A = this chain, B = another copy of it.
């Protein structure tokens, strides 16, 4: 399915108004059913839907490995994903599935994973990754309407995904990492979106040591990053960046 659509528009530039065509990002609703029950609906772009579903279930702690998924069927036409999980899913996960309302509160209660060993990095390595990251997004260049997320080693982008939702972009990346059995420890997450506790929770569950945003971070994300020994970087733009936690022994 295509992620964009063309529309006839009026383009205003200074004193000129002209009829023109514009490329617009698609908005797509995917409703997720687990073991026959409707769980949630995600507003997304119709791309990497399998990664999105796997990543969502994984990030929200409904599954811990890909083998817990018995079957998955995505009906793109009507925007529905049907997932059957194996019975051996433990209680925490079952509880999660059946109590959506207090989900946010649960995040805080669940055991967080503290980063044990600091990953050393050079500022210039992060700059180079951010540079690559910004060049990667053709969809953003075309439509200006998406967020990007990438999983990186210290010197390369391994997975790159986009979505209209910043949460979805992160889930797509983590979903593909799970499918490909990539060890996410000692890796870096880059995101174009603001880092709140919701995003940091998804990322910290994968024991990712370094998180970098092109835009802002929130106070609660800083507090959580300090607790968990995560290096949190914001406003990584050109020669600039702000390091909010996990101050490393830095080299340019």
Binding site for B on A (CB under 8 A): 4-5, 7, 9-15, 17, 22, 24-27, 29, 38, 40-41, 43, 100-102, 104-105, 123, 143-145, 164, 194, 196-198, 215-222, 235, 239-244, 247, 250, 252
A-B contact pairs, 13 of them (CB 8 A): A4-B219, A5-B219, A7-B219, A9-B244, A12-B240, A24-B216, A26-B219, A40-B101, A100-B101, A144-B216, A145-B218, A164-B194, A164-B218
B104-A43 in contact (CB<8A): yes
Complexed CA–CA distance, A235 and B5 (Å): 17
Complexed CA–CA distance, A104 and B79 (Å): 13
B10-A242 in contact (CB<8A): yes
Complexed CA–CA distance, A11 and B237 (Å): 12
- With A25-B216, A27-B218: A9-B164 Cβ-Cβ less than 8 Å: no
B25-A197 in contact (CB<8A): no
Interfacial chain B residues near A217, Cβ < 8 Å: 24, 145
- Quote the shortest CB–CB distance from A206 to chain B (angstroms): 21
Interfacial chain B residues near A104, Cβ < 8 Å: 29, 41, 43
B218-A26 in contact (CB<8A): yes
Complexed CA–CA distance, A240 and B252 (Å): 39
B194-A241 in contact (CB<8A): no
- With A22-B242, A196-B43: A216-B247 Cβ-Cβ less than 8 Å: no
- Quote the shortest CB–CB distance from A27 to chain B (angstroms): 4
- With A104-B29, A244-B22: A239-B198 Cβ-Cβ less than 8 Å: no
Interfacial chain B residues near A100, Cβ < 8 Å: 101
Complexed CA–CA distance, A100 and B235 (Å): 36
- Quote the shortest CB–CB distance from A249 to chain B (angstroms): 11
Complexed CA–CA distance, A143 and B218 (Å): 9
Complexed CA–CA distance, A192 and B222 (Å): 25
Complexed CA–CA distance, A5 and B244 (Å): 12
Interfacial chain B residues near A25, Cβ < 8 Å: 216, 218-219
Interfacial chain B residues near A220, Cβ < 8 Å: 26-27
- With A29-B104, A104-B41: A252-B24 Cβ-Cβ less than 8 Å: no
Interfacial chain B residues near A197, Cβ < 8 Å: 27
- Quote the shortest CB–CB distance from A242 to chain B (angstroms): 5
Interfacial chain B residues near A221, Cβ < 8 Å: 27
A17: which of B10, B123, B143 is its contact (CB, 8 Å)? Answer: B123
Interfacial chain B residues near A235, Cβ < 8 Å: 144
